[in-house]
Amino acid sequence: MAAPAVAAPVASCIFCSIVAWKIPCIKLTETAHSIAFMDIYPISKGHCLVVPKVHAAKLHEVTDEVIADVAVTMRRVAAAAGAENYNVLQNNGELAHQAVHHVHFHIIPKTSEADGLGFVWPAAAGDKAALQSLADDIKSRL
C-alpha cells in the first residue's frame, strides 16, 4: 500500500489552528509530528488529546512515520496521566461520532464507572465462517 500524502493545514480545522498556535491550548508535550494537550470538554479528570501535526481526516490517511510518533506520545501521556485504567479513543467519520475531522486520540482516565464513556459492549459470538471470510477479504487488501 502506498504511503498517504501529507496534507497541508486546513484553515477551518481547529486542530490545525492549535498546531499553528493560532488558538491556544494547555499543552502537555510536543514532538516533531505530534502535540498533546488537555481536552477543554473533559469527560473525566485528566482527559487529554494527542493530535498529529499534519492534517488528515481519518487514521488510514496518516503516514506510518507520523503514527509511530503519535503512538509513542500517547503511551507517554497515558503513563504520565497516572490512571491505572483509561480508554484510548479515536473516531473516523461521522457515523463513528468524529466531531473534528482531524485525526486525534482521546486519552480518558477512568477512576470510577462515572468517568465518561459508560457503554456496554455487545458481547455476542460471531459466526466463525463469516469472520474467516471477512478476514480473508481484509488480508487480501493489506
Q: pLDDT-derived band of residue 5, with 50, 70 and 90 as boundaries? A: low
In a domain, 6, yes or no: no
Q: Is the per-residue pLDDT at 37 higher than 80?
A: yes
Q: Is the per-residue pLDDT at 23 higher than 80?
A: yes
Q: In what order do the strands lie in the sheet with 105-110?
A: 27-30, 34-38, 48-52, 105-110, 85-89
* Number of domains comprising the chain: 1
User: If DSSP codes are grouped into helix, strand and coil, which group holds residue 108?
Assistant: strand
The whole-model pTM stands at 0.86
- How much of the chain, in percent, has pLDDT values that exceed 90? 67
Residues 72-129: tens digit of each pLDDT: 999 999 999 988 999 999 999 999 999 999 999 999 999 877 776 766 667 778 888 9
Report the distance separating Cα 26 and Cα 38, nearest Å.
6
Domain with 40, as residue range(s), is: 14-140
In a domain, 23, yes or no: yes
Residue 110 is part of a domain; what is its CATH number? Answer: 3.30.428.10
Instruction: Give the pLDDT of residue 80.
Output: 95
104 is catalytic: yes
CB 56 within 8 A of CB 9: no
Q: Is the per-residue pLDDT at 59 higher than 90?
A: yes
Q: Across the chain, what does the average pLDDT equal?
A: 89
| Of 47, 101, 102, 104, catalytic | 104
Q: Is the per-residue pLDDT at 9 higher than 70?
A: yes
In a domain, 5, yes or no: no
